Amino acid sequence: MSFWSSVEQAPPALSSPLASLVTSFWLHRSEAQARSRVLPTGTAQLIIDLSGDGLCVPDHAIHSSATRSRDTFPAVFNGADTTAFLLETDRPLYQFGVDFKPGGAYPFFALPASELHDAHVPLDTLWSVGAVRELRERVAAARTLGERAKILEELLLRQLAHPLEHHPAVRLALQAFSYAPPSRAVVTVAEAAGLSAGRLTRVFREEVGLTPKQFARVRRFRWALRRLRTEARAKGARVNWARLALDCGYYDQAHLINDFQAFAGVCPRAYLRARDARSPTTLLMADEV
């Protein structure tokens, strides 16, 4: 299915206090299209509706026949995710949002990130209705992506509930597990941080939303998606699955397939058929795959 869509993206300024917490601010417009399945990234996202129609809370059920709520909200927060969710795109979209780096949303919400793991909730259940209304109105009145980013950055800092800096052990663990294929065990990282493995897991979950093992597994999957996208572009559908699995840190091809089924709901070959060419973490649901 062909449709019109445009995305503007901008990272925070290097001098911004959010530079270590935010991947990018973005503005997305598109016409109605087939439903999409969004694959997990292990990170959080905040989305604000600019269309006036509101945003639906996504459905985490993997099958496209699942029932979903038609309630809409001016803004939605998506916690760090480990499961795919269905995105309603059966009407035109006009949205502004921010993609956080791993653990990047933690300072701005009173709840531990672990309580928002895989959650998709109206923003006014986490912030006051007045704060969300002000954010929506000011962002809608702004004219450029840069202006909107400044407004959101200001509002995020006003909502500060925790220090902007991660716990030193969390910083160390994020460095260890953010690069693929992850090669360091949790106990090894814990020892380097001077903590027990249990203590590292607790503080990591509080700030990042996932356990270190969950986070490393999602990051490995994302690495496989990037590698697969590159190989498929270069070689068509002739992918050396066994080699790709080993290069991405899987034990074997079966291990890779298991993760695809768990995170995407499809096997790797079906993923290649259904993937959105513009985004490696989006599957188009025009047909069941």
Evaluate whether 35 touches 63 at the Cβ level (below 8 Å).
no
For residue 219, tell me if it sits in a domain: no
Is the confidence at residue 235, as pLDDT, over 60? no
pLDDT of residue 199: 95
Q: Minimal CA–CA distance to 84: which of 202, 192, 221?
A: 221
pLDDT digits (tens, 9 = 90+) for 41-86: 999 999 999 998 888 887 654 444 444 556 889 999 999 999 998 8
pTM: 0.89
Q: Are residues 69 and 129 in the same domain?
A: yes
Q: Are residues 19 and 141 in the same domain?
A: yes
Task: Please report how the helices 197-208 and 212-235 are oriented relative to each other, as an axis angle in degrees rounded to 10.
Answer: 60
Q: Are residues 25 and 118 in the same domain?
A: yes
Domain count, the chain: 3
Q: Are residues 57 and 33 in the same domain?
A: yes
* Residue 238 belongs to domain spanning: 224-283
Q: Are residues 148 and 190 in the same domain?
A: no
Lowest-pLDDT choice from 30-34, 108-112, 252-256? 30-34
Q: Are residues 108 and 196 in the same domain?
A: no
Q: Are residues 230 and 208 in the same domain?
A: no
Q: Are residues 145 and 81 in the same domain?
A: yes
Where do the DSSP E strands lie in 93-241? 93-100, 120-122
Q: What angle do CA 116, 77, 126 make, to 5 degrees?
A: 70
Evaluate whether 148 touches 27 at the Cβ level (below 8 Å).
yes
Q: Are residues 10 and 150 in the same domain?
A: yes
pLDDT digits (tens, 9 = 90+) for 22-31: 999 999 888 7
For residue 271, tell me if it sits in a domain: yes
pLDDT of residue 236: 57
> Distance of alpha carbon 24 from its chain centroid, rounded?
12
For residue 179, give the CATH number of its domain. 1.10.10.60
Q: Are residues 32 and 50 in the same domain?
A: yes
For residue 288, tell me if it sits in a domain: no
* Alpha-carbon gap, residue 230 to 226, rounded angstroms: 6
